[in-house]
C-alpha cells in the first residue's frame, strides 16, 4: 500500500458554511439589483442546492419557479450576466469576513503542509469565490498552499460528475489511491467516489440528512483538540479531532465498508 500523498478539498460547505449566508444572500442581492422579485429563502435554497453550480441553479429556478418569465435577449447571456453580478456580491461579502472557516480546517491544512502532504481544491464554485474565501478566511498567501485550485467551468460537467477530481488527479499526476478527499454533500461524494477517491464527509445543516453511503468517515466537523467531532458513520481510529494519522488510517482502508447514514 502506497503512502498518503495528497489531500483534496471541496470548498462550499466543507471549508466554510458559505451557502446560507454567502451564496444565497449574494443571489438575492443580484436579483434585487436586477429588479427581479425573486427571493430565495433558507429552506428553498436548500432544495435548489441539489443543482450544483450557480448558473445551472439559476437556469433550474427559472424553469421550475418562474416559467412564464422571459429574460430579455439571449437566455444564456442573461443568466451569465446575472451570475456575474452575484459573484461580485459574493466576493464582497466574503471579504467582509461574514463566513469563517469550519472548525479544524485551518489546523488540518497547516498540519498537512508541515507533514509534506500535497494540497488541492476541487470545487464547483467560481474561481474568484475561492480566492476571496482563502485570502480572507485562511491566510493572505494561502492560494500558494494549494498545488491545484480546480474550480467552476474548468471542466464541462460539474459535480456529481467526477470530472473536477479527475482534473486534479491528472494535473498533479497522482493516483487516487494515495489521496483523500473532503466533501460535505451527496453530490460531492458521488463526484469523488467516481474518481475512485476515499472520501471524508463533514456534514452541515443543509446536507446532514443526505445519503453518504460509500464515504470512509462521516463526522459533524473536523474538530479541534478542545472541540471533539461527532462520528456519524465509520471508524475514527480512537481520535476525537481530524489529524494526519487519521487521514493516513483512512487512506489505508481504501475500500471502505459501505457505510449508510440514512
Q: Which residues bind ligand XBP (CB under 6 A)?
A: 10-13, 19, 23, 52-54, 87, 123-126, 129, 159, 188
Tell me the closest approach of the beta carbon of residue 32 to Mg ion, in angstroms: 26
Is residue 10 part of the contact set for Mg ion (CB under 5 A)?
yes
Neighbours of 58 (CB within 10 A): 23
Is residue 17 part of the contact set for Mg ion (CB under 5 A)?
no
CA 3, distance to chain mean position in Å, is: 25
Q: What angle do CA 171, 15, 212 make, to 5 degrees?
A: 85
Q: Which does 54 bind (CB under 5 to 8 A by kind): ligand XBP, Mg ion, none?
A: ligand XBP
Going along 124-162, which residue ranges are E strands? 148-151
Only segment of 66-74, 149-157, 180-188, 189-197 that touches Mg ion (CB under 5 A):
180-188
Is residue 13 part of the contact set for Mg ion (CB under 5 A)?
yes
> Given the complex with ligand XBP, which of 54 and 234 has the nearer CB atom?
54
The β-bridge relationship of strands 231-234 and 217-219 is: antiparallel
10 is catalytic: yes
Q: Which does 190 bind (CB under 5 to 8 A by kind): Mg ion, ligand XBP, none?
A: none
SS3 category, 188: helix
Tell me the closest approach of the beta carbon of residue 116 to Mg ion, in angstroms: 26
- Alpha helix segments (H runs only) across the chain: 18, 24-33, 42-48, 54-65, 75-95, 105-114, 127-133, 163-172, 186-194, 244-253
Tell me the closest approach of the beta carbon of residue 70 to Mg ion, in angstroms: 32
Active-site residue set: 10, 12
Amino acid at each position: 500500500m502506497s503512502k498518503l500523498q495528497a489531500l483534496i478539498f471541496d470548498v462550499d460547505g466543507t471549508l466554510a458554511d458559505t451557502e446560507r449566508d454567502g451564496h444565497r444572500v449574494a443571489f438575492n442581492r443580484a436579483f434585487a439589483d436586477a429588479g427581479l422579485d425573486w427571493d430565495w429563502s433558507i429552506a428553498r435554497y436548500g432544495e435548489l442546492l441539489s443543482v450544483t453550480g450557480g448558473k445551472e441553479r439559476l437556469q433550474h429556478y427559472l424553469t421550475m419557479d418562474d416559467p412564464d418569465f422571459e429574460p430579455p435577449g439571449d437566455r444564456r447571456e442573461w443568466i451569465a450576466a446575472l451570475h456575474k453580478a452575484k459573484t461580485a456580491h459574493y466576493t464582497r461579502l466574503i471579504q467582509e469576513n461574514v463566513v469563517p472557516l469550519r472548525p479544524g480546517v485551518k489546523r488540518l491544512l497547516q498540519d498537512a503542509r508541515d507533514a509534506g502532504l500535497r494540497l488541492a481544491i476541487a470545487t464547483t464554485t467560481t474561481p474568484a469565490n475561492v480566492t476571496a474565501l482563502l485570502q480572507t478566511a485562511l491566510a493572505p498567501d494561502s492560494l500558494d498552499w494549494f498545488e491545484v485550485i480546480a474550480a467552476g467551468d474548468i471542466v464541462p460537467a460539474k459535480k456529481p460528475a467526477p470530472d473536477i477530481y479527475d482534473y486534479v488527479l491528472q494535473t498533479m499526476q497522482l493516483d487516487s489511491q494515495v489521496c483523500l478527499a473532503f466533501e460535505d454533500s451527496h453530490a460531492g461524494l458521488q463526484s469523488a467516489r467516481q474518481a475512485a477517491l476515499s472520501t471524508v464527509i463533514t456534514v452541515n445543516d443543509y446536507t446532514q440528512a443526505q445519503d453518504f453511503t460509500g464515504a470512509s468517515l462521516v463526522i459533524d466537523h473536523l474538530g479541534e483538540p478542545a472541540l471533539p467531532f461527532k462520528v456519524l458513520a465509520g471508524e475514527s481510529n480512537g481520535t476525537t479531532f481530524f489529524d494526519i494519522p487519521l487521514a493516513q488510517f483512512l487512506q489505508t482502508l481504501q475500500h471502505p465498508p459501505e457505510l449508510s447514514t440514512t
